[in-house]
Structure 1
């Protein structure tokens, strides 16, 4: 890889703060670089980290830290403690992180807090001799479902297109007009609905929105229970598309939460998807 990139061995060593002989040892095989050095190596060689150093399975806490190029001793400063003990304990699976450390660590690692907590559960599972098993993921209790039309449209755009560019106002307007069979809304009109400048829309517009996003038109009606069901589904789909859901358990949901039969269907679907493409996040 280094030769393909036409980079001298000494330049690699200089860029990552290592001796020339150290880099030579890595290339010849007698030694391997610290996991914390891999991001710098990928950067110097102008390759994607996952491409140059592929990982089997999802990351645990140690993986996230190393992917950020941080040594454990550096974590004391990140979480504001005298030692890296809390991080070391969590990485070993001895004890979970205190809530006050989560935000700072997620920011330092460049991941979401949910991603950090999922990695923590994988570290715990490894410590309990369950390495290689995918822990049951928990969909947290939902916040209040979206109530206004603007909140509902924003939620769909945020949750339905993880890692992708959500459709523009022009595209949505064109789809609504095509569904209606006439010009019923402009791109500016969609923007006004999305931002809350306009609080209501004609039934034909709401039907077009539902058809475009593949949702029931009831989602746009002022009925909290229906909105909550769609909201839960969108949150689940967003997590599933990012490969973060192996099984689903509803916790803290009241009678408006996902019914048991729906959870069963979704778990069966997740299992089938995993069998069909276990190594992808599609």
Structure 2
């Protein structure tokens, strides 16, 4: 049973509301009319990767017609992208779909070389794919989060999550560093060759999960942030929260929302220290831009 909820009676009602017959739906879905009848009468859902198409045929949003129970795992991402498992071998350039099958079943994690093409095919970020993979392995306890415009953001815990968070959020339209550039910065910080671009790629994609203190310090140097951001441990280091708040803060400046942040205060998810910094900057901006107004 897919993690998306399926209600055959609701499907029947939506079909009738759309003035479609079971044969109409069957033809558009590429199945027999008997299959549609079973979906409606005994709530026997189609294969999960067909649900997005069924929602489109009925003219309803996928998340509204078939709401999801919890966060997606790897199989959920695949089905939402409308791929049967048998197609995934072609996506990752492997001879079969077995690597994806094993990752979806929590047997063996994906090889790092498979992560990027799979994320691209599924229409998600590398970080989202890696998080879904962890859920496939039963690691589903949600981490603490910090609010930002557009919704909550999970505090990254693993090296891969931290690297991908920075690459995806910290550059504000600028080009983030490549694996080779990160490797160069790490080696410069250590005055020795401690990693290659392939090593960095393995860390970024989650193929390699351990990083030495030298590599963690080098990553902090590459991103020009507090080295404590890459600290290991079960608890979220305060530096991680501070870095994320700083990115949130700078992103708000980039989007022209800084005055609104001052008005919203802690409802925006910032610490008292960061709010104080916001207010200091707002005071400077108001002196320079006397006509500036808060957005709330």
Q: Which residue of 2 aligns with 1:256?
A: 226
Alignment partner of 1:114 out of 119, 123, 127: 127
> Aligned-pair distance for 1:83?
1.2
- The CA distance in 2 between the partners of 1:153 and 1:90, in whole Å, is 33
Alignment partner of 1:134 out of 135, 138, 142: 142
CA 1:95/1:48 → structure 2, altered by over 3 Å: closer, same or farther? same
Q: Which residue of 1 aligns with 2:76?
A: 63
Alignment partner of 1:47 out of 60, 69, 73: 60
Q: Which residue of 2 aligns with 1:277?
A: none
Q: Which residue of 2 aligns with 1:16?
A: 29
- The CA distance in 1 between the partners of 2:21 and 2:122, in whole Å, is 30
> Aligned-pair distance for 1:135?
5.7
Q: Does 1:33 align with 2:46?
A: yes
- The CA distance in 1 between the partners of 2:72 and 2:116, in whole Å, is 18
Give the 4+ runs in structure 1 shifted more than 2 A.
Answer: 133-139, 141-145, 151-155, 251-267
- The CA distance in 1 between the partners of 2:172 and 2:116, in whole Å, is 28
> Aligned-pair distance for 1:266?
9.0
> Aligned-pair distance for 1:9?
1.5
> Aligned-pair distance for 1:152?
6.7
- The CA distance in 1 between the partners of 2:164 and 2:79, in whole Å, is 32
RMSD of Structure 2 on Structure 1 (CA):
3.6
Mapping 1:1-282, distance limit 5 Å: 1-29=14-42, 31-125=44-138, 133-134=141-142, 137-138=156-157, 139-141=161-163, 154=173, 252=216, 254=220, 256-257=226-227, 260-263=237-240
Q: Name the TM-score, length of structure 1 as normaliser.
A: 0.51
- The CA distance in 2 between the partners of 1:84 and 1:45, in whole Å, is 31
Please give the secondary structure, in 2, of the residue aligned with 1:252.
helix
Q: Name the TM-score, length of structure 2 as normaliser.
A: 0.49
Contact kept in structure 1, 2:126 and 2:164, CA below 8 Å: no
Please give the secondary structure, in 2, of the residue aligned with 1:38.
helix
> Aligned-pair distance for 1:73?
0.8
Contact kept in structure 1, 2:127 and 2:165, CA below 8 Å: no
- The CA distance in 2 between the partners of 1:68 and 1:153, in whole Å, is 28
